[in-house]
A and B are shown apart, each in its own frame.
Chain A
Amino acid sequence: MNLKNLFKIAVRALVRNKLRAILTMLGIIIGVGSVIAMLAIGQGSKKKIRDQMSSMGSNMLMVMPNFQRRGGVSLGFSVSQVLKYSDVVAIKNEATAVSEVSPEIRASGQVIFGNQNTQTTVYGVTEEYLGIRKLSMKSGRIFSNIELRSMAKVCILGQTVVTNLFGADTDPIGQSIRIKNLPFLVIGVLASKGESGFGQDQDDLILAPYTTVQSRLANIDYINSIYISAASEEKSPLAQSEVTEILRRSHKLKESAENDFRIMSQSELIQTVSSVSDVMTYLLGAIAGISLLVGGIGIMNIMFVSVTERTREIGLRMSIGGRGKDILRQFLVESMMISILGGALGIVFGFAVAKIAGSLMSSPTIVSTQSVVLAFAVCFMIGVFFGWYPAKKAAGLNPIDALRYE
């Protein structure tokens, strides 16, 4: 039988069994589509979280006091006071894998301008803090070294604070605001960063020289935490061990003593969160896998239900001169056409669902080539196998047995 006849026969058979062909295709469309869409959603939200995490800082390490000490002995106040500015200086001087270091001292309180007031947190930092936290200035300037040393009452406002105190139109630079009843001069405004991945407003803050916050607002001689930028992502682990060593030395910890500080690294955090979102992707993938399975079972069902009719058709074709291979080829071509068409529609369907889901959840969706290939391959194999297998069985029968099949 030549190729033209083969295709003609297959197309006629498909047209004759439109409903069966469409139902089979539907199984494939849903299977392929859902795998693509689900994995795209999973991948997309993973990327979103990663992006947000890395926008929090550049190769950032955070050092904070270690409150969780073993042995149940609470060391009370002293524990939260272990970090000093001298630690910052030590790190700056000794660590090789570190590019920027800044202390952070937090003070919360009321901020007043005219008859407007708002509750916010003032961060006492150095100018290196901006680079570490990936903050940038929208207007104005950063405090100078002189202002740092002289505990100048100057501050830089986050966008939320600007909006709360000044409204939309007033330029806050040069204005005087009161933080905890002390007058501060506004010298700059930070560019907006929006919400963090955890729903936190990253613009609700005020930056001021750490010296000012330490002695004028918080009245303490220690610092709350140290923010560090590793020179590069690869050097982040090295930076972490250097910092550990430096701090242990400057805190005069004995060999056997536990660290009295804790270092969190951004890359570790990203990895942790990524692995969580990987789990989510796998879950979505599993759901998609189930719908792939259900689609596959649907295909099987439809194929097997039509076996009786098709076996008789095979018997008839054989009785008028069709060879076993002619019939197998016909069925193979038929199921390949269904699978390819269904798979193609499924890919389109998957892309569409991913796009719609993406805009509904306002998170990007990433359709990966692997998921398309995987979904298509699986459905193609299911479709072709279950289209072909009954034919394989029937083509082995005597024509008369196939004709009599019930």
Chain B
Amino acid sequence: MANKIIEIRNLRKDYHVGEVTIHALRGIDLKIETGEYVAIMGASGSGKSTMLNILGCLDKPSDGDYWLDNVDVKTLDKDELARLRNQKLGFVFQAYNLLPRTTALENVELPLFYNSKIRSKERKERAINALEAVGLADRRDHMPNQLSGGQQQRVAIARSLVNDPVLILADEPTGNLDTRTSFEIMELFQDLNEKGRTIIYVTHESDIARFATRNVIFKDGKILRENMVTDRQFARDILKTLPVENIEEFDV
């Protein structure tokens, strides 16, 4: 029997800007089971990022309930939320958010610094393993500005993997990347998903959404519809058909 990792009931988020109140989320109900691979889609401003930030415990809902791994998030204080983010969640940002002037390895190590159980030897090993998993073992001493956008995003993914999270959340992880690099990231996610991790990501592109097992479409702060992906694609297979060069002109 599949285990619910996320359950959300009537979730709302309002932003107050001066006199105006923006209803970014207007009552969301959503269940996600362990091992699912969910793509959230929708028009710009429909509330996708807001949703994902709340799922990642980076932001708080104005109203409604959120159970993460059967824990009512409302009942947790700031420090407990921090521990949750540290040990159960991995977040990938559209803008990578790597620390500048800091090597790839040190960036990946960062989450482990906030886990006092992990000794420095283990920390380094795990960071190297995570970099290996994203295929950047040879770039461990490079600074972010010495890496391409795709490589930086892979470092960010390695950072989200390093603490062995049960849930990976990614807000437009391929938003700044070209087609081939996007597919490579998707391949990485699909591999991770196959190993049992639950992944939720936001995307604008329908061909990227087809790598998921389920799509959730947002509109004006509500879920417009949900559907299982019937023609699911595997990035590994598509990448094989892509020529290595001039992929820019290639349209899938």
A residues within 8 Å of B by Cβ?
1-2, 4-5, 8-9, 12, 16-17, 309, 312-313, 315-326, 398-401, 403
Which of B85, B87, B106 has the most chain A CB atoms closer than 10 A to its own CB?
A: B85
Nearest-neighbour CB distance to chain B for A394, whole angstroms, equals: 13
Query: What 7 new A-B contacts, CB under 8 Å, besides A321-B82, A321-B86?
Result: A1-B116, A5-B113, A319-B58, A321-B163, A323-B78, A323-B114, A398-B58
Contact A9 B113 (CB under 8 A): yes
Nearest-neighbour CB distance to chain A for B87, whole angstroms, equals: 7
Q: List 7 A–B pairs whose Cβ atoms lie within 8 Å, in order of A's numbering.
A: A9-B113, A16-B100, A16-B102, A313-B99, A318-B82, A324-B78, A398-B59
Nearest-neighbour CB distance to chain B for A316, whole angstroms, equals: 5
Q: Bound complex: CA of A167 vs CA of B18, how far in Å?
A: 94
Interface size of B as a range? 20 to 34
Contact A320 B111 (CB under 8 A): yes
Q: Bound complex: CA of A320 vs CA of B110, how far in Å?
A: 8
Contact B102 A321 (CB under 8 A): no
Closest to B116 in A: A2
Contact A399 B159 (CB under 8 A): no
Contacts of A326 in B (CB 8 A): 82, 114
Contact A319 B56 (CB under 8 A): yes
Contact of B85 among A313, A320, A401, A403 (CB under 8 A): A320
- The answer, yes or no, to whether B83 is at the interface (CB within 8 Å) is yes
Contact A321 B58 (CB under 8 A): no
- The answer, yes or no, to whether B233 is at the interface (CB within 8 Å) is no
Nearest-neighbour CB distance to chain B for A13, whole angstroms, equals: 9
- The answer, yes or no, to whether B31 is at the interface (CB within 8 Å) is no
Contact A321 B83 (CB under 8 A): yes
Contact A16 B114 (CB under 8 A): no
Contacts of A320 in B (CB 8 A): 85-86, 91, 110-111, 114, 159
Q: Bound complex: CA of A5 vs CA of B110, how far in Å?
A: 10
Nearest-neighbour CB distance to chain B for A287, whole angstroms, equals: 38
Contact A321 B111 (CB under 8 A): yes
B residues within 8 Å of A by Cβ?
53, 56, 58-60, 78-79, 82-83, 85-87, 91, 93, 97, 99-102, 106, 110-111, 113-116, 120, 159, 163
Contact A324 B79 (CB under 8 A): yes
Contact A323 B106 (CB under 8 A): no
Contacts of A2 in B (CB 8 A): 116
Closest to B82 in A: A323
Q: Which 4 A-B pairs have the closest CB atoms?
A: A321-B86, A320-B111, A400-B58, A321-B114
Q: Bound complex: CA of A324 vs CA of B83, how far in Å?
A: 11
Contact B78 A316 (CB under 8 A): no
Contact A1 B113 (CB under 8 A): yes
Contacts of A325 in B (CB 8 A): 79
Contacts of B113 in A (CB 8 A): 1, 5, 8-9
Contacts of A400 in B (CB 8 A): 53, 58-59
Closest to B162 in A: A320
Contacts of B93 in A (CB 8 A): 403
Contact A1 B59 (CB under 8 A): no
Q: Bound complex: CA of A136 vs CA of B37, how far in Å?
A: 103
Given the interface contacts A320-B91, A320-B110, A321-B87, does A403 sit within 8 Å of B115 by beta carbon? Answer: no
Contacts of B99 in A (CB 8 A): 16, 313, 316
Contact of B116 among A5, A12, A312, A313 (CB under 8 A): A5
Contact A399 B58 (CB under 8 A): yes
Q: Bound complex: CA of A263 vs CA of B116, how far in Å?
A: 79
Closest to B57 in A: A399
Contacts of A401 in B (CB 8 A): 59
Contacts of A319 in B (CB 8 A): 56, 58, 85, 91, 97
Q: Bound complex: CA of A17 vs CA of B79, how far in Å?
A: 27
Which of A318, A325, A398, A400 has the most chain B CB atoms closer than 10 A to its own CB?
A: A400
Closest to B88 in A: A321
Contact B115 A321 (CB under 8 A): yes
Contact A322 B82 (CB under 8 A): yes
Contact of A316 among B83, B86, B97 (CB under 8 A): B97
Given the interface contacts A5-B113, A398-B59, does A323 sit within 8 Å of B102 by beta carbon? Answer: no
Q: Bound complex: CA of A136 vs CA of B60, how far in Å?
A: 89
Nearest-neighbour CB distance to chain A for B14, whole angstroms, equals: 14
Q: Bound complex: CA of A398 vs CA of B114, how far in Å?
A: 18
Contacts of B97 in A (CB 8 A): 312, 315-316, 319, 403
Which of B82, B159, B163 has the most chain A CB atoms closer than 10 A to its own CB?
A: B82
Q: Bound complex: CA of A319 vs CA of B96, how far in Å?
A: 13
Q: Bound complex: CA of A17 vs CA of B83, how far in Å?
A: 27
Contacts of B106 in A (CB 8 A): 12
Q: Bound complex: CA of A9 vs CA of B120, how far in Å?
A: 12
Nearest-neighbour CB distance to chain A for B47, whole angstroms, equals: 14
Q: Bound complex: CA of A399 vs CA of B93, how far in Å?
A: 13
Contacts of A398 in B (CB 8 A): 58-60
